[in-house]
Amino acid sequence: MSEEINVTSTNFQKEVVESPIPVLLDFWAEWCTPCKMIAPSVGQLADAYRGKLKVGKVNVDIEGDLAAQYNVISIPTLMVFKDGAVMSQRAGALPKHDIEGLFKSIV
């Protein structure tokens, strides 16, 4: 079972900014079909990189301010954070190897 965490404005500082390992954030919504399409790949990557990469999900319908803070205008949007800074990001229903390519060089 994957260890994706629910990231909110309340725990963002602790889970993302202060994380000792890189963080892949998946900005998504319940109604978003492309978000559902990439969810299995994101979960598989969370399992494969356990301990090297933290994987979090941000529900844009609940955390609109957090999505706005990072200029998320299309979902799914995937962002990789390291030491609290955005290292890479892509929007859209990406294949698994493209998602992995967002963070592979920094884990």
Q: What are the structural domain ranges in the chain? A: 5-106
Out of 16, 23, 25, 32, which one is annotated catalytic?
32
> What does the pLDDT look like over 18-38, one tens digit per residue?
999 999 999 999 999 999 999
Whole-prediction pTM value?
0.94
Q: Say yes or no to pLDDT of 1 above 60.
A: no
Strand partners, 26: 57, 78
Helix/strand number for the chain, H first, E second? 4, 5
83, amino acid identity: D
Residue 35 annotated to the active site: yes
Specify the CATH architecture of the domain 5-106. Answer: 3-Layer(aba) Sandwich (3.40)
pLDDT of residue 89: 97
pLDDT of residue 2: 59
pLDDT of residue 21: 97
- Sequence-ordered strand ranges (E) for the chain: 5-6, 23-28, 54-59, 77-82, 85-91
Out of 7, 23, 25, 35, which one is annotated catalytic?
35
